[in-house]
Amino acid sequence: MWNYIKYLVLLEFKKFRYNNVVLAILAIYTLIAPAIILAGKDVVTEVPPPLPSSAVFYEFPTVWDYQGYTGSWMVSFCLGFMMIYIITSEVSHRTLRQNIITGMSRKDWFLSKLISLFLLAGFASVLYFLMSYTEAATGTLIYSILFLGLAWWSFRTRDI
Amino acid sequence: MNVLTIDNVSKKYGRIAALNELSLQIEKGSIYGILGPNGSGKTTTLGIILGILRADSGHFTWFENAYGEKHRYKIGAILETPNFYPYLNADQNLDIIQHIKGVQSDTNALLELTGLKDRRKSRFSTYSLGMKQRLAIAATLIGDPEVLIFDEPTNGLDPQGIAEVRSILLKIAGMGKTVIMASHMLDEVEKICTHVAILKKGKLLANGPVGALISHDITVELASNDMEKLIQFVRELPFVKSYAVKNRWLEITVAEDMDYALINKMAFDRGIVLNHFAARRQKLETEFLEITSGKKSIQ
């Protein structure tokens, strides 16, 4: 069973490891999303009345509620879109068809996407756990610099 | 051994019957051509036997069930267009196919065979149509499959591309594999295939060895300055099976063992000087057109 899962996950990895859309979304998610959230501590200082201050976003135990809420939006914008792309691009490139002609069964194909979905959800959860734990404002700077660098690097080598 | 047995398969798209109770047996080692005009159900047939489309009724068996559900691992196929990941290069695309089939093939040799070796590191989206088609042929050969299926492999190619693909197909045909090929190129089918099935509107009109479908009669074209006299002369000949007046010449059909040089001599003796004389064997193309237009019935 583990070999079967490894076979499916490795196949998905081989399909999408050089895909620009997937790489860009993963970069945005892992680099800029935490930057936005961590920026809340310093940038958003005034909050509506029921909340005492923006500090509640970053304090235990309320950190889990607020970061979880923000995180769910980030996941649906970035990773949700990415998962839709991973499935629909295979239909539009007709590679779903070709995969089945090559030998996969419909069940194999369905499971390969389902397992990727669970892995992606696991990755998002781990990242959010780590991020909510790291309260440091310096995180903002590091993430921003990393992301800008990546954006510039990909832009200067691209055919326009 | 029958590689593929199709038994009474039917498929409807809405009210239109794409396939109507099709039955076929394909023997191991044969090169089977599926011919038919556009929309005759060739691609539908291949889609059904490859598990892409579901048949409404009937069933099919691959390799007499020797491999069970895993039969597609023993088949190399392209359907309609070459389908690959456009952002990956040839090596990476072939690697994915190897991964799915769980085999390691000599991709070097395959890219050599299809002449893509110097472009193996280019992305698929940068390929010309001919190169895409050739990569698809290389992909079908991965894992040394027992059966190869090609769906109009030269569709949309320029003469150069057609010549390239044709030479590759001839090489593959020489490898002794079972090949199933849907095609428009009748002269190719005639040259490569051992068996032919002719479809029209989802119905099987004829099938069997290529030699059996083509009649052995010889067609002779005759022309003279005085066509009236020539027609009169041809009518009187006892060995002429049929004749037809064409635009610039007269076409007569004679038996295969006929010494047709005799016609020339007899015409000259009657005072008719021929200015055109050509004998040719019946081509699959004429047979195909006659069968699909309903002019010729199948025994």
ipTM for the whole complex: 0.75
Which residue shows structure tokens 């090609």? B150
Axis crossing angle, helix B90-101 with helix A2-16, rounded to the nearest 10: 160
Question: Quick check: is B294 in a domain?
Answer: no
Q: Amino acid identity, residue A90?
A: E
- Please list, in sequence order, all residues whose beta carbon lies within 8 angstroms of the beta carbon of residue B89, skipping any fewer than 6 positions away: B120, B121, B122, B123, B124
Distance from C-alpha of A26 to C-alpha of B93, rounded to nearest angstrom: 22
Residues B224 and B200 in one domain: no
| The pLDDT value given to residue B299 | 42
Residues B161 and B237 in one domain: no
Would you place residue A146 in the very low, low, confident or very high pLDDT band (cuts 50, 70, 90)?
A: low
Long-range contacts of B186-190 (CB under 8 A, 24+ apart): B186/B35, B186/B283, B186/B284, B186/B285, B186/B288, B187/B283, B187/B284, B187/B285, B188/B154, B189/B33, B189/B35, B189/B284, B190/B214, B190/B283, B190/B284, B190/B285
Indicate yes or no: CB of B100 within 8 angstroms of CB of A99: yes
Question: Quick check: is B288 in a domain?
Answer: no
Domain finish residue from B162, B192, B212:
B212
pLDDT at A147 over 70: no
CATH of the domain at B83: 3.40.50.300
- pLDDT tens for residues B63-96? 888 888 888 898 999 888 899 999 999 999 999 9
Which residue shows structure tokens 């756990």? A129
Axis crossing angle, helix A81-92 with helix A106-133, rounded to the nearest 10: 160
CATH of the domain at B248: 3.30.70
- pLDDT tens for residues B105-158? 888 988 988 888 888 899 999 998 888 988 998 999 898 888 999 888 887 777
Question: Quick check: is B115 in a domain?
Answer: yes
| The pLDDT value given to residue A30 | 81
Residues of B in contact with A104 (CB under 8 A): 100
The count of structural domains within chain B is 2
Interfacial residues of B (vs A; Cβ cutoff 8 Å):
50-52, 69-70, 72-73, 75, 77-79, 81, 83-88, 92, 95-97, 99-102, 139
pLDDT at A33 over 70: yes
Residues of B in contact with A18 (CB under 8 A): 87-88, 92
Helix, strand, coil shares, percent, chain B, to 5: 35, 30, 35
Residues B160 and B252 in one domain: no
**Helix or strand holding residue B108 (H, E):** helix B107-113
Question: Which of A94, A98, A103 comes nearest B73 by C-beta?
Answer: A103
Residues B223 and B200 in one domain: no
Distance from C-alpha of B270 to C-alpha of B242, rounded to nearest angstrom: 20
Distance from C-alpha of B5 to C-alpha of B23, rounded to nearest angstrom: 8
Q: Which domain does B240 fall in, by range? A: 218-281
| Segment B227-255 mean pLDDT | 80
Residues B12 and B123 in one domain: yes
Rounded to a whole number, what is the largest CA-CA distance in chain B?
Answer: 75
Q: Amino acid identity, residue A117?
A: L
Contact B199, B17 (CB under 8 A): no
Residues B88 and B180 in one domain: yes
Q: Amino acid identity, residue B274?
A: L
The DSSP letter of residue B32 is E
Residues B207 and B223 in one domain: no
